[in-house]
Amino acid sequence: MNRTVDGVMRVAEQPSESRAPGAKRRRRRMNPVTARRVAVAVFLAALLIGWHVYSLYMPPILIPGPLRVAERFVELWTNWGYLSSALDSFVHVIASVSIAFTLGTAIALAGYFYPPANLAIYSRLAPFLNSFSGLGWAFLALIWFGITGGAVIFAAAAALLPLAVINAGAGLQQLNREAIEMAVSFSRHPGRRVLFVILPMMFPYLFATLRLCVGIGWQVVLVAELLNGAGGLGTIINVARARYWTDMLFAAVFLIVIVVYVTDRLVFARIQARLRKTYEL
């Protein structure tokens, strides 16, 4: 009986011993981050190859090849005339976002401290500004200010203002009322409450508003520059369209896409990830 049991036990142990070497030879699963990077690289390579092959059968005025666009892209960074236009667009975006963000937060705070004004702000002003397109603001700015950089900044700031007002107002509605009441008991001065209590509590919402305004600001600024002709990447795109420089148009668009992507993913996304940990969002 013991021999039978021992024999059974030996037979049961043999498969585990035979599977042990095979377990060592199992393939390791690819890290999800590595797999994602490989998939992105394969997709970009396939896209470039398909673009290159398709450009061989099309005239350059319609579909320029990747090498030709790459040469124009390098020219954007080496020619001071093109580089100064890109810097003008940066200045227009930063100025318009700063004005819209500051003014929108101030309007939302005014409605918070004076509730009767909320009807005029959120039921009249915000819907009106939100329904007025950025193209309309660009035309009005061109008539009012002429061909100047101020017209571009005004048009972009006016188009971004309703976003700042609505998002800042939403952040004010989510404030902790108990913390606000405690702040009132410590200080009756509204400026101190705003600076040391309300704005720090609103920081996640304000940062999300800033991130949204930067992304949309590039779109509005390019449209305003395209119509205004006061400088910037929009003017380069307009000149490339008029002269049929399709490769320059592609290069300018790629430059904008890279700048917006790098700013959003490498700067704003990392800051927002830290905010989620800090504020436990």
pLDDT tens, residue by residue, 219-244: 888 888 888 777 788 888 888 888 88
Higher pLDDT, 79 or 31: 79
Query: Model's pTM, two decimal places?
Result: 0.76
Residue 29, SS3 per DSSP:
coil
> Does a structural domain hold residue 6?
no
**pLDDT tens, position by position, 47-66:** 888 888 888 888 888 888 88
Residue 48 lies in a domain: no
pLDDT of residue 94: 92
Phi/psi region, residue 277 (left: phi>0; alpha: psi -120 to 50; beta: rest), is alpha
Straight-line distance from the first to the last Cα atom of the chain, in angstroms, rounded to the nearest whole number: 66
Q: Which domain holds residue 159?
A: 67-279
Could you identify the residue written with the tokens 């200010």?
Answer: 145
d(CA 256, CA 89): 10
Residue 56 lies in a domain: no
pLDDT at site 185: 64
Flag whether pLDDT at 27 surpasses 70.
no
Does residue 232 form part of some domain?
Answer: yes
For residue 46, being part of any structural domain is answered with no
What HEC string does 40-80 produce? HHHHHHHHHHHHHHHHHCCCCCCCCCHHHHHHHHHHHHHCH
pLDDT digits (tens, 9 = 90+) for 117-144: 888 888 888 888 888 877 888 888 888 8
Instruction: Find tokens 């449209």 and name the residue.
Output: 223
pLDDT, position 85: 84
Domain count, the chain: 1
Tell whether 89 is covered by a domain.
yes
Taking only the tens place, the pLDDT of each residue in 152-189 is 899 899 999 998 888 888 887 877 676 666 666 666 66
**Positive or negative torsion for Cα 229, 233, 236, 242:** negative
A 10 A CB-CB count for 57 gives 7
Q: Tell me if 207 is assigned to some domain.
A: yes
The per-residue pLDDT of the chain, averaged, comes to 79
Does the pLDDT at position 15 exceed 60? no
Quote the CA–CA distance of 54 and 78 in Å, as a whole number. 29
Tell me whether residue 90 is in a domain.
yes
CATH code of 205's domain = 1.10.3720.10
Tell me the C-alpha to C-alpha distance, in Å, between residue 41 and each of 34, 37, 44, 47, 97: 10, 6, 5, 10, 34
For residue 211, pLDDT over 90 is answered with no
Residue among 218, 225, 219, 216 at smallest CA distance from 164: 216
Can you give the pLDDT at residue 11?
46
